Chain A
Amino acid sequence: MIESYIPILLIIGIAVIFGVVSINLSWLLGPQRPYREKHSTYESGVDPVSTAHYRFSVKYYMVALSFIVFDIEVVFMYPWAVQFRELGWTGFVVMSVFIVVLAVGFIYELKKGALQWD
């Protein structure tokens, strides 16, 4: 049973190795001649103005929240899609009701301008 997950394990292993190796390789192979300007934060050649920490607007948060809700909606669709044939029309109607209710939420977002950026 667990053996069937070996390919996934291999991919995770390769991903980790690739990340670790490529970062350290560039550090090893590249020439290291640091000076003050090189160490400063890159800001299109201009001297950095403030710290990288600044307050994000609450608007990002709203986008993230909508994303989560619709992400969860999609999660419910996987089992339905897999069992689509077996569930037949009943499953289709059940899923339609689910999606219509959430579509109301989506149209509400659009109409109330929750996804507008100003």
Chain B
Amino acid sequence: MIEIIFESIPSFWPEITLSLTFVISMIVEFIVGGKGKKSTGMTTGLIVLLGFTVTILQMPFQDLEPRLLFGTMITLDPFAAFFKYLIVAAGIIVIVFSMQSHEVRRQETVGEFFCFIAAMTFGMFLMAGASNLLMIYLSIELVSLSSYILAGFSKKLKRSGEAALKYVLFGGAASGVMLYGMSLLYGLTGALDIYSIQSTLAAGMVVDVHDWSFVVLMLSIIMILVGFGYKISAVPFHFWTPDVYEGAPVSVTAYLSVASKAAGFAVMVRFFYVAFFDSVLDLGKWGSLPLVDWNMIIALLSVLTMTLGNVVAIWQDNLKRMLAYSSIAHAGYIMMGLVVMSDLGLTAMLAYFVIYFFMNLGAFYIVMSVADRIGSEHIDDYRGLGKRAPVIGVGFSIFLVSLTGLPPLAGFIGKWMLFSAVIEAHYIWLAVIGVLNSAISLYYYARVFRNMYLREPLNGDESPITFSPLVIVITILFIIPNIIFGVYFGPLISYAQRSVELFLQ
């Protein structure tokens, strides 16, 4: 047994670095900010940043030959590595955001804030590779626990407390249901790792379609889907999203909307793809689960998710809340890639995540910087912003146009790939609904443009708002990939194609 541990550790350095980052940052925090000393939290923040940088530097040296670590606990393959890059890059960016954010810095426990970002990133790394029901559950719990605390971080704000409470209640219920589903699945198959579950189900010995065992299997899958659906905030498990996104500090919201969602999709795809697909013979069909058309169920969930997100976003006046509903809608778009779990669908999904990363983090960064300067996230306070702060105005417009999915920006490429993947699988109606939804989203994004450029400021104050050069530079750094990936997307797509390789037994 000990040999397996020693064999696994060399392939496991990024995760080990991250867990050490969490523990060491905690030690640094209580040394720097111990009894009678006031911690500014910046030392801890820098330690975490250093840990993340070391992690991302280790990753290119990893041998990505698909294999299992620690028995069957964790899988290492290009698919997991793709999500790990995305997650740790988002982690670094969120730490840089948080170090600037007044919302975070005026808290007493800034140091712990960074520790929890480290814990959450570690959890999401494990989610990206988890191939055992036990690991899936534990990693999701680690991520959830950290995000509950981060969501309620502005303790003195009522809406932050409300966010944390709603998140805890909803998350607890969802993970309880998921755990019950997992226990049913374990009871049926007698296996915890998804590869044995697949082989047991494929052998057809334990589950009989004419029997109650089939109903139990369906029930367990639906229950597990509840847990995943909550993590990616798919309808009808999205209720926590608007309140949590509004109440949490903006940098946390940005992290939740990009990395947490990506990790949720990663674990969901791995679980369903490995356990329930006869991937070799019949691509895109849920081989081990006859009778029910799961592709159709996922398609309907996707339609519900994007439509609800887009339609409700129209009425939102708080930009954070609007972006929250917009991120629900984007989860719906990304689910289109899951409808057909062919290589094409998954490639489109992965490429979309990279693009979503740049456009969504950019949009949240603008909301955060503007809130730091003018103290408001209300849409009316954005009136005249285009003239008062030109770079910020242009940047925000670019991010929102990209989120809408209009050419020539990156968002268009992402949507175009998703739509072509579903059209190829003959779900033309789904693509049509997706396009209609993009049109709806244009309406509420356009409200922001109108306020920024066409309307006078509320109190007639037309004096320019100055932002620090750092804010301008970061905004421009986010604008560049949004434009580049819109016209030069070849490398992105080929990288996504190479990353669709999942470990199968």
Contacts and interface: CB of A to CB of B under 8 A. Distances in A.
Direct contact of A and B (CB under 8 A): yes
Interface of A: 90, 101, 104-105, 107-108, 111-113
A111 B30 CA distance: 6
B29 A108 contact: yes
Interface string B12-25: 00000000000100
A111 B33 CA distance: 8
Nearest to A89: B2
B31 to A, nearest CB: 8
A107 B23 CA distance: 12
B152 to A, nearest CB: 14
Interface of B: 1-2, 5, 23, 26-27, 29-31, 33-35
Given A90-B1, A90-B2, A111 B23 contact: no
Contacts, number: 21
B2 A101 contact: no
A113 B30 contact: no
- Mostly helix, strand, loop or mixed at chain A's interface? helix
B138 to A, nearest CB: 14
A108 B44 CA distance: 14
B30 A101 contact: no
A104 B31 CA distance: 11
Given A90-B1, A113-B35, A108 B30 contact: yes
Given A90-B1, A90-B2, A111 B35 contact: yes
Nearest to B36: A113
A104 B23 contact: yes
A44 B5 CA distance: 63
B26 A111 contact: no
Contacts of B2: 90
A112 B27 contact: no
B292 to A, nearest CB: 39
A79 B29 CA distance: 33
Contacts of B23: 101, 104
Contacts of B5: 90
A4 to B, nearest CB: 27
Contacts of A107: 27, 30
A49 B31 CA distance: 46
Contacts of A105: 26
